[in-house]
Amino acid sequence: MIKERVLTGDRVTGKLHLGHYVGSLQNRVTLQEQYDTFVFLADIQALTTHFDRPQYLGQNLNEITLDYLSAGINPDKSTLFIQSMVPEIAELTVLFSMFVTVNSLRHNPTIKAESKNSSLDELYYGFLGYPVSQAADITFCKATIIPVGEDQLPHLELTRKIVRRFNELYSPILVEPRALISETPRLVGTDGNAKMSKSLGNAIELDSTKEEITFKIRKATTDPARVHKNDPGHPDICPIYAYHRAVRSHGAPEIHDSCESGSISCSACKQLITTALDQLIEPMRERRSYYAARPKVVEDILLSGTKRARDIAQETMSEVREAMGLNYFSK
């Protein structure tokens, strides 16, 4: 039986953290058991906002690969590859771009939000067009299941539109993917900011030592209404409670009750989550140090995954060329 294909990736703009683990990595670890899973390093997409800092790509690429492997993405089950090393994706992007309107990109809500928040002074062509490149990321291997966050839905819709348009214009060879929306809410930062992010300095990294976890949790914001130990708390606005829910779900209802009734102190609550986080990260640290000590093994994982992706991409491209009549000398 042919397994359905899953594809997801990350821009290589920085190391991954607990928010990524909770929101996507752990899900990929589950998906790889059942599906032909592709996980890729979106270095070209990273360039859309970081074109002036290409020197960081290689370093980020290595760190994220270690994050993947340490989180439990198994290279025997998942295909890991590097976007820029599958040039067929770029080729497909160019072909798709012929029938995508600039207006549809300008009205894409995620593009709008990201360009407002970005440090870029102008709207760049590559950035505006990255959803088209994302459609190529997905369709080159005919992936059907795309696990993403809510913000990626407009891109998925565009991909589906591109596939339909391509199939109707040329020949029905591409496959419409569907989004698999992450059910876990976005993880808050240790400072209570809605988003855990390395650049905001409120993230718990996947290679944290026990001391680092202890320190970050000790300093983390809690419900400001709880001045004294017995003050009733509001767990739903507390980052520590969000962490309980994310990584200690069995114990979370009890924490919720004892916080609301003021029967557990913030420091006892923090102690519990510190232990749970350390237990979660401990096997990741182990796998990380295994791979970090074996750069050649990591390189082979990326090269062989990229080779598999590229073989598939070349097959798809030859179908695409034929569908579009670009196969001049191989008819």
Residues in contact with ligand TRP by the rule CB under 6 A: 7-11, 42, 45, 134, 137-138, 146, 148, 152
Helix boundaries (H) for 184-238: 210-219
What separation in angstroms does the CA of 281 have from each of 27, 209, 234, 268?
Answer: 16, 8, 27, 20
What residues contact residue 317 under an 8 Å CB cut-off, 6+ apart?
88, 91, 92, 140
Least Å from the CB of residue 131 to ligand TRP: 8
Least Å from the CB of residue 179 to ligand TRP: 9
Nearer to ligand TRP, 42 or 95 (CB): 42
Q: How far apart are CA 148 and CA 11, in angstroms?
A: 13
Least Å from the CB of residue 117 to ligand TRP: 13
Nearer to ligand TRP, 100 or 240 (CB): 100
For residue 288, the 8-state DSSP code is H
Least Å from the CB of residue 85 to ligand TRP: 15
What separation in angstroms does the CA of 114 have from each of 41, 109, 122, 291?
Answer: 20, 9, 12, 34
Nearer to ligand TRP, 180 or 303 (CB): 180
Nearer to ligand TRP, 12 or 323 (CB): 12
Least Å from the CB of residue 185 to ligand TRP: 16
Q: How far apart are CA 114 and CA 128, in angstroms?
A: 10
Q: How far apart are CA 134 and CA 71, in angstroms?
A: 24
Nearer to ligand TRP, 164 or 294 (CB): 164
Least Å from the CB of residue 88 to ligand TRP: 15
Closest among 193, 144, 228, 154 to 19, alpha carbons compared: 193
Nearer to ligand TRP, 89 or 269 (CB): 89
Residue 45 in contact with residue 148, Cβ under 8 Å?
no
